[in-house]
Structure 1
């Protein structure tokens, strides 16, 4: 495969950012223990520099999602813990979707033409299915996270799915899960004592984390049955 100068530039930029992320040890900050340990400092900084904190958080989330770097779950919890449910949900929803779309476009720019040309005959039926059911298929993948989201971002970038469709379906499909994680994040600040750990709000938040995939799966099954019934 012959790479153009623009593709080489994008690859080098991605490699530089990924190497810098791990070389500077930024991944060590994106753990649950690190978040809980530094939460009071983050909150104090936010009180003094609210707009700057929002911009930094939003930018970091978008870049990490676009580069498929680990830590999205902890960042989502941090959004709830730092900004509260309303603002946290708003920031995470748009940042995660923009980042996912960035990863989608990078995969499309770097690899789509090569893979589609090399495996054109094998991908005919798959491409037809994506064009016909792509939005619903992506919605089910987002709602029931069978595969890691970064894998979905990259694979969908190799398909004929429109970027605009990918964006709005991703934002809609990821919203319920995002709500659950942000809600759980709002309870992190209460982990100061045993009484806080067993509070009703924390119990409900983390119970939702466990049952949400089951509820989403049942919902998707219902939608599929409904569609089949009305197609007859």
Structure 2
């Protein structure tokens, strides 16, 4: 698309992808929450396993596509989808399928946000104060480190981590790579929980979704976050420019 054509696109037209995502997200929150739940997985587990055993490749394709739709349209059930990946495909390759689906879905939101709002909202963020402004400045000056940091720190919502880079002129390739590798630790943890759902179902219990905040899980992830933040710290101490 040429620059002249791009300039002819109205602001309202640019917002259509984000509006579509918002509409589907509201629809999903109202009508799909009972279908994308732990109870639904429990009730349909035998049928899912039977289908997987009969059509493994098709199951993988359907699963990744469903994950992309869930993340890309901000539907409820991303955690359940991750557990399902572990339940159906074990920790590996289940974690790989989960990361692929989540990365593709996050990329959809990133592209929709960048095309719809992009620099305009980025300029408004520049005028704000507080945590959002700090994250914005950090990403601008230390893109690789900050992109990995917001993926690794559990306190940063996944949706926010998808939107902020879109408003800060982060290259698509850099966003995809940092998302793919940055979400691996958390994905492996929840996928491993999903891989043990057979025993959980047998006991009539619910999985421990707070496991990621237990010290033996959280501390290594925070260690990775500290490693990602190290270049920022070194730059601050040196008072130099980012590489």
Question: Does the alignment reach a TM-score above 0.5?
Answer: yes
Specify the alignment match of 1:77 in structure 2: 83
Instruction: Map residues 207-226 of structure 1 onto 2, 5 A cutoff.
Output: 207=211, 210-211=214-215, 212-221=217-226, 224=229
Higher helix share: 1
Specify the alignment match of 2:28 in structure 1: 21
Greater Cα offset, 126-135 or 97-106: 126-135
Specify the alignment match of 1:36 in structure 2: 42
Return closer, same or farther for 1:113/1:45 CA change in 2, 3 Å cut-off.
Answer: same
Residue 49 of structure 1: how far off its partner (Å): 2.4
Specify the alignment match of 1:65 in structure 2: 71
Residue 48 of structure 1: how far off its partner (Å): 2.1
**Selected match of 2:151 from 133, 136, 142:** 142
Matched positions, count: 224
Question: 2: CA distance between counterparts of 1:207 and 1:58?
Answer: 24
1:80 touches 1:88 (CA, 8 Å); kept in 2?
Answer: yes
Question: 2: CA distance between counterparts of 1:122 and 1:192?
Answer: 48
Question: 2: CA distance between counterparts of 1:127 and 1:206?
Answer: 29
1:127 touches 1:160 (CA, 8 Å); kept in 2?
Answer: no
CA RMSD of aligned residues (A): 3.3
Question: 2: CA distance between counterparts of 1:209 and 1:37?
Answer: 28
Q: Secondary structure at the match of 1:146?
A: coil
Specify the alignment match of 2:5 in structure 1: none
Greater Cα offset, 116-125 or 100-109: 116-125
Question: 1: CA distance between counterparts of 2:182 and 2:105?
Answer: 15
Residue 65 of structure 1: how far off its partner (Å): 1.0
Question: 2: CA distance between counterparts of 1:162 and 1:50?
Answer: 35
Question: 1: CA distance between counterparts of 2:15 and 2:231?
Answer: 47
Return closer, same or farther for 1:76/1:102 CA change in 2, 3 Å cut-off.
Answer: same
Q: Scaled by the length of structure 2, what TM-score is found?
A: 0.77
2:145 touches 2:228 (CA, 8 Å); kept in 1?
Answer: no
1:66 touches 1:102 (CA, 8 Å); kept in 2?
Answer: yes
Residue 32 of structure 1: how far off its partner (Å): 1.7
Return closer, same or farther for 1:16/1:121 CA change in 2, 3 Å cut-off.
Answer: closer
Instruction: Map residues 107-126 of structure 1 onto 2, 5 A cutoff.
Output: 107-117=113-123
1:65 touches 1:96 (CA, 8 Å); kept in 2?
Answer: yes
1:144 touches 1:213 (CA, 8 Å); kept in 2?
Answer: no
1:184 touches 1:206 (CA, 8 Å); kept in 2?
Answer: no
Does 1:96 find its partner at 2:102? yes
**Is there any run of 5+ residues in structure 2 with no aligned partner, and where?**
1-8, 239-243
